[in-house]
């Protein structure tokens, strides 16, 4: 009995010491550690965000996420066109076959606590042409909402107020591939913005093979470029071969083009498993390959930056390998990653889009059979625990 009591006492002291050390470590996780070698942002999945949707609504392919100045989160999904009538949307069929479920409106707005604030979007009778397959949603510095589309005839982008009021349609719908066009786009994947909001960077896209920069007020195409800053070409590139020499053009889809605050543009050349970096005028700077053995859908799906003034970190969504990489933005070094394939919170099925809010939290959407949005709570800067962390599950107090 005495020996058992002694062992319990020793164990209790060890536990208290470990908890004290852990508490001290957490207290030290802050801005002072940003950029420190061996350290990286840490996250925990919030399994209760967002709150349940009303009206028996469910999501289809969730293909975009953006955050406005109030930290309201907007997502876009493909609704009924991506849902199985027999197994997923019984109340959305004619006649209904069950009490549940039906597709939510295409665009959903949540407040920081995960409450649904607004829902809107879809076809218009006369104002604009809704994409055949909406793709990507982005919020500009003036809190306007932009969407593209990667379906047949989606050669334009749409601009709305944050409440869903139609503001502008740029580009001419129903056009074919033309990566040299100044009149229309080619199934644009996503729209991003410079810091002042006067220029929009279009990852163009699923048909064209370029980055196009437009005046965000008039829609005028100001400049465009292909891989390595080359003149873009619509010639076929064939399938990606990880053992072949890197090609001098983007493959489709060109899936993101994100300007940073220090005048660089990071481009997701998705099927080529590479990120290319440019100056804002299209001058090529550098590139990095991400999981270069990845075939099919490719590895570089979308990126978002950390919210510190220097945008020290970059978060890369890799939908094919079902994870998010945490990278040093300047060196393009991968510091760690989280996620894996699966249905539970913190895991992914085709993580498609990624965004950050002012608190440093990460939001992701999942396409194909994923059909959801997740929130990952920023927990400060801490030691890198593993190359691949798996699900960043909450550890509690």
pLDDT given for residue 25 in this prediction = 37
Asked whether residue 18 carries a pLDDT value surpassing 70, the answer given is no
| 30-63 residue pLDDT tens | 566 776 778 999 999 999 999 999 999 999 999 9
Average pLDDT over residues 304-319: 97
| 324-348 residue pLDDT tens | 999 999 999 999 999 999 999 999 9
Average pLDDT over residues 289-301: 97
Asked whether residue 15 carries a pLDDT value surpassing 80, the answer given is no
User: What's the CATH number for 40-383?
Assistant: 2.120.10.30
Give the residue extent of every domain in the chain: 1-33, 40-383
Confidence of residue 21 (pLDDT cuts 50, 70, 90): very low
Average pLDDT over residues 214-240: 97
Q: Which residues, 6 or more positions from 396, have their beta carbon under 8 angstroms from its beta carbon?
A: none
pLDDT given for residue 31 in this prediction = 63
pLDDT given for residue 32 in this prediction = 66
pLDDT given for residue 30 in this prediction = 58
Average pLDDT over residues 192-217: 97
Percent of the chain's residues with pLDDT above 70 = 91
State the Cα–Cα distance between residues 196 and 357, nearest whole angstrom: 18
Lowest mean pLDDT among 206-210, 292-296, 299-303, 384-388: 384-388
Burial 23-62, CB ≥16 within 10 A → b, else e: eeeeeebeeebbeeeebbbbbbbbeebbeeeeebbbbbbb
Average pLDDT over residues 201-213: 97
State the Cα–Cα distance between residues 371 and 79, nearest whole angstrom: 10
Asked whether residue 293 carries a pLDDT value surpassing 70, the answer given is yes
Percent of the chain's residues with pLDDT above 90 = 88
| 67-110 residue pLDDT tens | 999 999 999 999 999 999 999 999 999 999 999 999 999 999 99
pLDDT given for residue 397 in this prediction = 63
State the Cα–Cα distance between residues 322 and 29, nearest whole angstrom: 27
């Amino acid at each position: 009995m005495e020996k058992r009591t002694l062992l319990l006492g020793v164990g209790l002291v060890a536990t208290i010491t470990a908890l004290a050390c852990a508490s001290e470590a957490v207290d030290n996780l802050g801005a002072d550690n940003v950029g420190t070698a061996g350290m990286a942002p840490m996250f925990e999945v919030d399994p209760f965000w967002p709150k349940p949707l009303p009206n028996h609504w469910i999501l289809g392919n969730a293909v975009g996420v953006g955050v406005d100045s109030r930290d309201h989160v907007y997502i876009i999904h493909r609704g009924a066109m991506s849902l199985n009538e027999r197994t997923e949307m019984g109340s959305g069929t004619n006649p209904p076959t069950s009490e549940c479920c039906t597709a939510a409106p295409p665009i959903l707005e949540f407040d920081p606590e995960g409450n649904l604030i607004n829902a809107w979007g879809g076809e218009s009778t006369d104002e604009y042409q809704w994409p055949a397959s909406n793709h990507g949603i982005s919020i500009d510095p003036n809190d306007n909402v932009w969407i593209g589309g990667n379906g047949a005839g989606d050669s334009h982008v749409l601009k709305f107020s944050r409440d869903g009021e139609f503001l502008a349609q740029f580009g001419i719908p129903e056009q074919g591939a033309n990566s040299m066009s100044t009149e229309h786009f080619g199934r644009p994947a996503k729209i991003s913005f410079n810091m002042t909001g006067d220029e929009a960077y279009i990852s163009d896209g699923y048909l064209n093979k370029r980055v196009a920069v437009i005046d965000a007020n008039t829609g005028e195409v100001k400049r465009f470029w292909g891989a390595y800053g080359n003149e873009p070409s619509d010639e076929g590139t064939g399938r990606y071969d990880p053992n072949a020499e890197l090609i001098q053009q983007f493959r489709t889809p060109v899936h993101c083009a994100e300007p940073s605050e220090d005048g660089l543009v990071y481009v997701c050349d998705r099927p080529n498993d590479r990120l290319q970096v440019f100056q804002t005028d299209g001058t090529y700077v550098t590139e990095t390959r991400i999981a270069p053995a990845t075939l099919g859908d490719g590895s570089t799906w979308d990126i978002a930056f950390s919210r510190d003034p220097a945008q020290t970190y970059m978060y890369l969504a890799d939908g094919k390998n079902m994870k998010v990489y945490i990278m040093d933005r300047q060196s393009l070094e991968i510091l760690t990653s989280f996620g894996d394939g699966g249905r539970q919170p913190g895991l992914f099925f085709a993580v498609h889009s990624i965004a950050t809010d002012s608190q440093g939290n990460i939001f992701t959407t999942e396409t194909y059979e994923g059909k959801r949005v997740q929130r990952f709570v920023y927990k400060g800067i801490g030691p890198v625990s593993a190359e691949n962390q798996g699900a960043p599950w909450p550890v509690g107090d």
